Amino acid sequence: MNIPRTNLSHTAAPPPSEAQLVAAAQKDISRFEPLYNHYHEPVVRFLARRLDDQDQAFDLASQVFLKAMQNLAKYEQRGLPFGSWLFRIARNELYTYFKKSPESRSVNIETREIGTTMADEMEENSLEPYMDKMIEAIGDLPEDDLQMIEMRYFEKRPYKEIGEILDMTENNAKVKTYRILEKLKKLILAK
């Protein structure tokens, strides 16, 4: 009795990489859906952290993805996730929106996140008396400074990605963040 041999070495192909998904979508925009599905929730969260209106965050996210699809041919791989490019578009959409509705700007932070923001700047046991001052000082930061603090400490983004989103070098992102923390420290101690 002969038993037919089967090829057991055949395995399923690995899922396509992000670069492959982007390249496919650049050739045929109807193949953008996997990128949309992967990044929609993070982009909405990025926007919602800066707005008090969840519906507005979804509306802006729609604009982000529309602009991404319209400009996908211009996208270039730079060794960072495709999301960095999307977050740059989201940031620009926020700026446009805040110019029209500046009162809509919101800072959504948690107390434990604030503690980690300044832990290197002050003694840990002395943070508690400064919490209210810290929240107030963070809210008083200029928009660009606030975005740096949000991305680095509340969203835990690496400096390289922050640089890509803000169109600056990784080193400039580090230096600017350090300067903002120094400014925050002075603001807190002066209050």
Higher-confidence position of 177 and 1: 177
**Is 126 inside a domain boundary?**
yes
Confidence of residue 107 (pLDDT cuts 50, 70, 90): low
Q: Which range has the top average pLDDT, 29-33, 112-116, 160-164?
A: 29-33
Residue 161 sits in a domain whose CATH number is 1.20.140.160
Higher-confidence position of 11 and 189: 189
* CB < 8 Å & 24+ apart, contacts of 117-126: 117/149, 117/153, 117/154, 117/181, 117/184, 118/181, 118/184, 118/185, 118/188, 120/181, 121/181, 121/182, 121/184, 121/185, 122/185
Give the domain-ending residue among 43, 74, 104: 104
CB 175 within 8 A of CB 164: no
Judgement on whether residues 62 and 85 belong to the same structural domain of the protein: yes
Counted domains in the chain: 2
Task: Give me the pLDDT at residue 6, please.
Answer: 56
Q: Which residues contact 104 (CB under 8 A, 6 or more apart)?
A: 51, 52, 53, 56, 97, 98
Residue 95 sits in a domain whose CATH number is 1.10.1740.10
Judgement on whether residues 96 and 120 belong to the same structural domain of the protein: no
Residue type, position 178, single letter: Y
Judgement on whether residues 86 and 34 belong to the same structural domain of the protein: yes
**Is 134 inside a domain boundary?**
yes
pLDDT digits (tens, 9 = 90+) for 58-92: 999 999 999 999 999 999 887 778 998 999 999 89
Taking the C-alpha atoms of residue 93 and residue 60, their distance in angstroms, rounded to an integer, is 7
**Is 123 inside a domain boundary?**
yes
Judgement on whether residues 82 and 129 belong to the same structural domain of the protein: no
Q: Which residues contact 75 (CB under 8 A, 6 or more apart)?
A: 22, 26, 68, 82, 85
Residue 8 has pLDDT above 60, yes or no: no
Confidence of residue 111 (pLDDT cuts 50, 70, 90): very low
Judgement on whether residues 91 and 137 belong to the same structural domain of the protein: no
**Is 10 inside a domain boundary?**
no
Burial of 12 (0-12, 13-18, 19+ CB in 10 A): exposed
**Is 160 inside a domain boundary?**
yes
**Is 64 inside a domain boundary?**
yes
Q: What is the DSSP letter of 51?
A: B
Q: How many other C-beta atoms lie within 10 A of the C-beta of residue 38?
A: 15
**Is 82 inside a domain boundary?**
yes
pLDDT digits (tens, 9 = 90+) for 116-160: 555 554 554 455 666 777 777 877 888 788 888 888 887 888 999
**Is 141 inside a domain boundary?**
yes
Q: Quote the domain boundaries for residue 158.
A: 111-190
